[in-house]
A and B are shown apart, each in its own frame.
Chain A
Amino acid sequence: AQSVAQPEDQVNVAEGNPLTVKCTYSVSGNPYLFWYVQYPNRGLQFLLKYITGDNLVKGSYGFEAEFNKSQTSFHLKKPSALVSDSALYFCAVRDSTGANNLFFGTGTRLTVIP
């Protein structure tokens, strides 16, 4: 079975400060990991993915994520937060059976304070 956990329901950060949204995963085999963002009354927007290769993955809107195999983590980061980054962030892992469906965490609400 595969799963992801997002230990923080809410993260608050001041505008201009670095932000981190945490995610840990559990999967048999190689993990395929994703980050999505959801704005109010909208669907999910893809930010970035880790399939293989460099442990630091760069994505859309200045976001990046660090894959750490020993800690089974895939934390989302951004060097300088914007008020417009305030949204709901979801970490996801692909089905380890090989099907292209995703298992999502419960989400972390990020609030960037002006």
Chain B
Amino acid sequence: DAGVTQSPTHLIKTRGQQVTLRCSPKSGHDTVSWYQQALGQGPQFIFQYYEEEERQRGNFPDRFSGHQFPNYSSELNVNALLLGDSALYLCASSWGVMDQPQHFGDGTRLSIL
């Protein structure tokens, strides 16, 4: 049973560019959340998708956008990249019941030059 898978594992971009990160949830999960983990910090919630809609959003600018597909997989898009966007981006999936734990992928390490 595959867990949460994310691609790519590493990515290098320059300021001003755009990036798309991808996530496949754990089998049986229908909810996908995205987190940003800066170096030395805890993960910070970006947004959550359920039934192909953004259900909840954290304190991130509109440059961060996402999408969920009918097969529950998800994308995170970041436009106009800034140096401060350099971080580990984590995808987490869960089943709809709210007290179920989220399962995390190994993340995408994004470096902005």
Contact = CB atoms under 8 A, between A and B. Distances in A.
Interface of A: 32, 34, 36, 41-46, 49, 51, 90, 92, 94-95, 97-107
A41 B107 CA distance: 8
B42 interface: yes
Contacts of B7: none
Contacts of A44: 43, 90, 92, 104
A99 B104 contact: no
Contacts, number: 63
A106 B42 contact: yes
A49 B43 CA distance: 17
B43 A99 contact: no
A68 B101 CA distance: 21
B73 interface: no
Nearest to B103: A46
Contact of B101 (A34, A90, A101, A105): A34
B108 to A, nearest CB: 10
A104 B102 contact: no
Given A43-B105, A99-B48, 8 more contacts: A34-B101, A42-B106, A46-B104, A101-B56, A102-B33, A104-B43, A104-B44, A106-B42
